[in-house]
Amino acid sequence: MERIGVSEARDHIEMVERILAESHQRLCSGGEYFVVWGAGSAFVTVLFQLVDNAIVPPAALWSVPIVLVACALFSIVRGRTNRNVLQRSSLVQREFFNVLWLTLGLAFVATVAGYRIFTGAAGAAIWSVAEAIVLLYIGMHGNRRAQVFGVLVVASLIAANFAPPGTVGYVLGAGMLVGYAGFGASELLARE
């Protein structure tokens, strides 16, 4: 035995276990990004449906790129600020963001570059799938709220499939707002 007794070893192990348990609770998934992108994607989806139903004039679609650019700008600026200021930056959080940007990036490419394939509600549904993947991935790391909100997004996708014509966008939009932005809001509230 090397310079440490059994009771001391137990004391050290207990301290390590306590620190690891506490540090796990401090892992945060960046609620503000979910609020912004959830609200942004819901706005775009609902707006397309409103235009399709002739409730809003097509000229309103000019707000879509503005909203998407605003969401992207917020993410970039916030990400850079956080990176420099954060007192703690977790490894799992970095992994969450890698999955988040990959998934949402692919959804963006699919809807913008593949607009002839993913027409109408299919384009919006891709965003729902991407958001569900992100939430369920975070949920797999033990975040119960992410599991619940991820299931809500999936449920909205299934509900949209059976929704009457002219309401599909509303159902998908509701799923994005409640599921994705709702998860972000709940994370922010939990952080308080």
Partner 1 sequence: MDELLLSKVRLGVVAELLNFDWVAFSELARALDVSNGNLGAHLAKLIEAGYVDEEKSFVNRRPLTRYRLTKRGRDAFAAHVSRLQALL
Give the binding site for partner 1 (CB under 8 A).
Answer: 1-4, 6, 9-13, 15-16, 19-20, 22-24, 27, 84-94
DSSP state, residue 55 = S
Of the two residues 6 and 54, which places its CB atom closer to partner 1 in the complex?
6
> At its nearest, how many Å lie between partner 1 and the CB of residue 32?
19
Q: What are phi and psi of 167, to 5 degrees?
A: -125, -5
Instruction: Classify burial at 163, counting beta carbons within 10 Å of its beta carbon; exposed 0-12, middle 13-18, buried 19 or more.
Output: middle
DSSP state, residue 164 = P
> At its nearest, how many Å lie between partner 1 and the CB of residue 95?
10
> At its nearest, how many Å lie between partner 1 and the CB of residue 14?
10
Of the two residues 23 and 161, which places its CB atom closer to partner 1 in the complex?
23
Whether 168 contacts 160, CB under 8 Å: yes
In 3D space, the residue among 168, 97, 167 whose CA is nearest the CA of residue 128 turns out to be 168
Of the two residues 65 and 79, which places its CB atom closer to partner 1 in the complex?
79
> At its nearest, how many Å lie between partner 1 and the CB of residue 149?
23
Of the two residues 21 and 54, which places its CB atom closer to partner 1 in the complex?
21
> At its nearest, how many Å lie between partner 1 and the CB of residue 100?
16
CB atoms within 10 A of CB 162: 8
Question: Which residue has tokens 């992410």?
Answer: 146
Of the two residues 51 and 92, which places its CB atom closer to partner 1 in the complex?
92
